Every structure is written in C-alpha cells, then in structure tokens.
Amino acid sequence: MHRRLVGGSKWRDDIALSASISIHKLSGPLLGIRGQYRSMLHVFPTLDALSEAAAQRVAELLTSEEPDRPYLVALSGGSTPKQLHTLLATTYRDEIPWKRVHLFWGDERWVPHQSPDSNYRMADETLIRDIPLPFGNIHPVQTGLSTPLASAEAYEREINTFLRELDRPGLDLVILGMGDDGHTASLFPGTPVLHERHRLVAAMEAPPYAKVKDRVTFTYPLINRSRHILFLAAGEKKREPLTAILNDREEALKQYPAAGVEGLVTTEWFVDEAAVGRKAA
C-alpha cells in the first residue's frame, strides 16, 4: 500500500513511533517485502525543486532528536544528489549540527578517491569540503586495499564496530539514487549480490554497461536495517522502473532491484515530473 504525499508540503515524521515495532522484524526476512510498503511519493516539477525539498527533509532529520546523538548517514553516487549536497552545504549549513553526523557511502566504485568516477570525490567536492564536519566523522570505502573484496570486508568491519558500539541495528538515513535499469547503490539487476542475506557490505562486478565494473556496495540486509530511506530520481529515463515499483513492488522486484529497498521507519521517493510521468499537485 502506498501512502502518497504529493507536492512540497511540510510533513512530520509521523510514523516514527513504529520504529520499535519494525526493529523486531529484523528476525524475519530482510529483503524488504514485509507486507506493507510504507512509502511516500513526493513529486516536484523539476530537479531543482526536488533537491530543495530533499534538502529540507534531510536537514529536518539531522536536527531531530537530541543534538548529541550520533546520526549515521549513507550518501549515494551518481549525479542526481549533487544539488542536494550543495544546498546542505549552503542554505542548511549553519542549522545542521554537523558534529553529530557520520557520513558513509552506500556504494563506491573501486577507483582511487581522486578519480572523477569516485563517489567519495563527488561528495567531497559538492558537500564535505564546505561543511564543518570533523575528519573522524567521514567514513569512505577504502579503495586502496588489495582487492574489492578486501575493501568490502574492511568497510563491513568498520560499520559493524560502529553499530555495535552504538547498539543500533543500522544507519539512520540512507540516501539512494536509481539507475535507468532499476539498480540502486550497486545492486544491479541479475547480479549475485541481490541474493546476499548475511554480509552487510559486498564486493561486486557491475554489468558491462556500467561506468566502473568493480564496486563495493551495501547489501539489502544493511540497507533495509536503516531507519529512513530517501530515494532521489529525476528524468524520463527513470520512468519505467519507477512506474513498475509504484504499481506493484513485488512484481517489480523481479526486474528492478530498487524495489527491494525498504526503511524501518520511512521510505520516501523524491521524484520529478519527468520520472513519474505526471504533474506535481
């Protein structure tokens, strides 16, 4: 069942109370199809408007609860989140308590951090270098290790240690994009990583059409333990997977990996009119 909030209205985190209930579901399957899909769809006329609203939502989440509680966020790669990053680093820079924020990456291309293909580099250029984030709060995938598997294992250890120390099941917020083929993070259609049920982070080989073959990615078991998921999707090329996911998520999962993602508390889609094929209300 989809709960749709269309347009840029201000909303409350009104189902936060269900968090404790959802956490118990961790003992069940982690793929994400847990009966009810509590997703919210927000449609905006343009990528600019979508980015404004997403930045407002992220700022709202980062300023929620006690300001000292560490807030664990995973960023995505791709180009859609660039404007969101810039807004967080300008309009919202001074209101966000950056000291509490820890940044991780939902996926990374296995290239040096200086590479133009690096997701870390994109986030550094659009966000990190312009905000007062303590150095120790930046947790990139270490792509300089001997193999992608070594990088994935090291990242999993780092995240596990973090979660154990904080006594939490997962991250607070995972920001994701979606490819034209319905992939999200580096969960590509038809790849073995989609069947991973134990590892939290995996090394994988993306299909030949993807920009960089070797990648490290959060798996469903980690993504679906996050409290909040925020998907950003813009442009007509996203229409096919998005329509399929919104129409029948279980059916869509056969083809589009993004359909398997569900946050413990919220799953929100910030999309533009071109992606959804209809006007914002």
Binding site for ligand 6PG (CB under 6 A): 76-80, 107, 109, 119, 177-179, 183-185
CB 222 within 8 A of CB 201: yes
Closer residue to ligand 6PG in complex, CB, 92/105: 105
> Which SS3 state, helix, strand or coil, does residue 160 take?
helix
CB 108 within 8 A of CB 140: yes
Closer residue to ligand 6PG in complex, CB, 175/246: 175
Least distance in Å: CB of 143 to ligand 6PG? 12
For the beta sheet containing 201-205, the strands, ordered from the edge strand earlier in sequence to the opposite edge, are: 107-109, 214-218, 201-205
- Number of C-beta neighbours around residue 34 at 10 A: 15
Least distance in Å: CB of 82 to ligand 6PG? 8
Closer residue to ligand 6PG in complex, CB, 178/245: 178
Angstrom distances, CA of residue 203 to CA of 14, 116, 145, 219, 262: 36, 20, 12, 10, 21
Closer residue to ligand 6PG in complex, CB, 83/137: 83
Q: At which residue do the structure tokens 């000291």 appear?
A: 99
Closer residue to ligand 6PG in complex, CB, 108/156: 108
Least distance in Å: CB of 109 to ligand 6PG? 6
Among the listed residues 139, 123, 75, 67, the one whose alpha carbon sits nearest the alpha carbon of residue 98: 67
Least distance in Å: CB of 175 to ligand 6PG? 9
Least distance in Å: CB of 77 to ligand 6PG? 3
Rounded to whole angstroms, the Cα distance separating 43 from 174 reads 19
